[in-house]
Amino acid sequence: MAVTAVKTWVAGEILTASDLNGEFANIYDNGQDLAWPATKEKDFDGQKLILDADGDTSLTSDTDDQLDWEIGGTDLIKWTAGVYEYTSVDAGSAIGPLLKIYRNSASAADADFIGGLYFDGNDDAGTPAQVTYASIEAQIDDSGAGSEDATFLLKTMVAGTLTTQIDISSGAVAVTPPLNASGGGALTGTFTGVTQSASDNSTKLATTAYVDATGGGNVSNTGTPVDGQLAVWTDATTIEGTSDFTFDGADLTIYNAVNDGNPEIRLGAADAEELHVQVVYESGTQLLEYVLFTTDVASGTADRGLYRFNVDGTDILDIDDGGLVLTGSVVLSGTVDGRDVAADGAVIDGLGTSSTVDTGVTSGLVPLVGTKSATLALAGLVEQSTSAENIAGTDDTVFPSVAGAKEMIDTHASGGDAIFSNQYSGGF
């Protein structure tokens, strides 16, 4: 406040010691200590405290409850209760205003923290305690001259602990909590993270996709998604997953739990050029009856749409319009048409090492394989005579040759005339 005089003087009045003492006591008692260093408060009453030689840098409080800092004749800093305002009047493109925090260390080293901004508040205890709820911190990674690296940390309080949520370093940006890009936009570059686990949500990148769909607006999911489900369009603006259509990273599963559902997979270029693999149920049920493989082709060229089986780089089997074309050996086991493959195979293999083969039967039908066994007489089975003819008719174990049969007929014919001419001597 301003100092007021104790006494008003009039012309010719004598100044006494008492008057002077009273005036100085008034100044002292009102807190206007003129001594320096000051021992009492000084009231500037809204006037400037000039700090430099040319008078254009000062502190003032000509607005109630506001501190103004004038630099170069302009108020650049205004400080009110809870608000600090720093103004730049530079009309150029340089950075401004600029707040610089300088850690002037004589022994800078890697991992040194060089500054921070802390945001504190109270907790709700009966006697509130001051708590840092969030902070911004800077740290040196590499202090080497010419190769300097740094880390910038954004932290928030998590369950009572100040926790790094975003870590920006020279090598990567690490985001600890789930990233929700609700505002849209584009993500570019390379994204890496820990190995995903179906049971650990902290290893997953959870995103909500908004796609500008033709004929519709933004896309949203229908129902509650479950891990492994493959989503499909259900209308112009929604996608939906189902437990009957899943992929767990190894197995693709397609179910259709409906009577006569007969689920089918199609591969190809169009409806007329495709492969069908279909599971066919028993009529009116969901019981698997058979699996149907079908190919559709528009061309009339033979063998289009054939099935080809290639094993380890070699074509082994083709199934085409004409049937089966097999390359390589066939190995069978069990029975084929009621016959034991292993036993019959042994008989067939024996033909290569024996001149006679025991047919294994004594009457009836005889397999037409090999020759009659020398040690086994078979009813109704005879050998061709080794002589030119057999006219005695007593040996029923051989039959005559063609020449012998001709001679026998000619001999017994009436009149003695030959029935067969020589032109038939070569065969009958």
Residue 382: closest CA among 365, 367, 399, 359: 399
pLDDT in tens, 314-336: 999 999 888 888 888 888 777 87
Using the predicted structure, report yes or no on whether residue 414 has a pLDDT greater than 60. Answer: no
Average pLDDT in the chain: 77
Amino acid present at 272: A
pLDDT in tens, 93-114: 999 899 899 999 999 999 999 9
Using the predicted structure, report yes or no on whether residue 220 has a pLDDT greater than 70. Answer: no
pLDDT in tens, 18-28: 877 877 777 66
- Residues 6 or more apart in contact with residue 205 via CB below 8 angstroms: 179, 191, 193
SS3 content of the chain, % helix, strand, coil (to 5): 10, 30, 60
pLDDT confidence band for 80 (50 / 70 / 90): very high
Using the predicted structure, report yes or no on whether residue 284 has a pLDDT greater than 70. Answer: yes
Tokens of 349: 């293999």
Q: Which helix (H) or strand (E) holds 25?
A: helix 17-29
Using the predicted structure, report yes or no on whether residue 223 has a pLDDT greater than 80. Answer: no
- Residues 6 or more apart in contact with residue 218 via CB below 8 angstroms: 210, 211, 212, 237
The two beta strands, 383-384 and 398-399, are: parallel
The pTM score is 0.41
